[in-house]
Amino acid sequence: MSKIVEKNGLVTETFYGTEKGVVQERKIDHKPILEHNKKLYNQNDGYSPDKGLKRIASIPTIILEIWAKEYNGDQNKGNWFALPKNVQTKILKEKLNSSDYRYFRTAPGNF
């Protein structure tokens, strides 16, 4: 079995060659992201100086991929950006307003 490891920032991808094909394993170092989110959450209310924009969350793209796969019910359909905008908004509201995913939030309040 051959093994190739690629590290790109916080994401590590490992490819294993087997008799049946290639297996891909992806890992993300989530600790720096969550620590940064905590700092932002406690920094201020998340609004821009003119109150025109509000910071809500910082979510790693690998998590968006997982949520897309959950929504589609298919492990081969993980393209978050292929989902319709209204579906993306629905998923984000559900996940970000849940206490299970509160560490992705970068400002207080509901989405």
Confidence band (pLDDT; 50, 70, 90) for 64? very high
Question: What is the DSSP secondary structure assignment for residue 95, as one 8-state letter?
Answer: H
User: In whole angstroms, what is the distance from residue 88 CA to residue 18 CA?
Assistant: 36
Residue 96 corresponds to which tokens in the numbers above? 């970000």
Name the average pLDDT for the chain.
Answer: 90
Question: Full-prediction pTM beyond 0.85?
Answer: no
Q: Which of 101, 57, 92, 97 is nearest to 71 (CA)?
A: 92
User: Is the predicted pLDDT of residue 23 greater than 90, yes or no?
Assistant: no
For the chain, state the CA radius of gyration.
17
Mean pLDDT to the nearest integer, 75-82: 89
> In the structure, what pLDDT confidence band is assigned to residue 76 with cuts at 50, 70 and 90?
confident
Give the long-range contacts of residues 43-50, CB within 8 A, separation 24 or more.
44/107, 45/107, 45/108, 45/109, 46/106, 46/107, 46/108, 46/109, 47/107
Mean of pLDDT values over 65-92: 93
pLDDT tens track for 28-37 = 888 999 999 9
pLDDT given for residue 56 in this prediction:
95
